[in-house]
Amino acid sequence: MARLSLTRRLLKIFHPEGIPWIGTVFYNALSATTLFQRNYDVVAQDILSYGSEGSILDIGTGPGWLLVKLHQQAPRLRIIGLDTSASMVAKARKNMVAAGLSEEIEVKEGNASQLSFADNTFETVVSTGSIHHWKDPIGGLNEVYRVLKKGGNALLYDIVSDTPKPVLKEMARGYGRLKMMLLWLHAFEEPFYSHKAFEMLAQPSLFKAGRTRFVGVLCCLILRKGGGDA
């Protein structure tokens, strides 16, 4: 398994798994900006290309904007958001109320490594910008495997520390060079995985293997629970 560099391992140790209260205020405001909202649209469309019915779990849902986008594009989905930060869960619930979706979308407090759901519950499990925060990523992936139904997909989106230059150039054309430069700098102070290390997370997990591709500037790790698996 590819390992994080010493610097990124130290960042991961001291980096909080859940965003503290003051951070939720800032992140909620930031995530409401056009740049983030456009990104949520792109991610929602990609997720729904794998299926638009059944149940979906979003781990590390943050302010919950992706949940709103998913409901808007696929109202028949049963959608649950999960976040380890109690203050972020409170923010997400307020956003669901403001969007008129508090009855349709559930947001719960919880941790990726101890999912409070029965085996074989969800057709799809997703996470956006969250997995680099997980203290036990392999344990988290094994929990994702457990709660997925046979044939279900896990789609884990995150920034990687070595995003290919062609991807950055393409995104700069759409979002502007300054924003892409800020994103590139951000990759140095967060414990993001390299592209290779991100893909290799699957190997020691119950999934055994996965593949990656870029969706906008995000790298997506695609994992599938085989139809013949228990």
Average pLDDT of the chain, as a whole number: 84
Rounded to an integer, what distance in angstroms lies between the CA atom of residue 45 and that of residue 186?
25
217 touches 168 (CB < 8 A): yes
Question: 16, exposed or middle or buried, with CB in 10 Å at 0-12, 13-18, 19+?
Answer: exposed
Local structure of residue 150 (DSSP, 8 states) = E
Tokens of 219: 């790298």
Does 9 have pLDDT greater than 70? no
- Per-residue pLDDT tens over the stretch 111-128: 999 999 999 999 999 999
> What is the pTM (predicted TM-score) of this model?
0.83
Q: Give residue limits of the domains in the chain.
A: 6-224
| Cα Rg, the chain, nearest whole Å | 17
142 touches 112 (CB < 8 A): no
CATH number of 6-224: 3.40.50.150
| Better pLDDT: 174 or 59 | 59
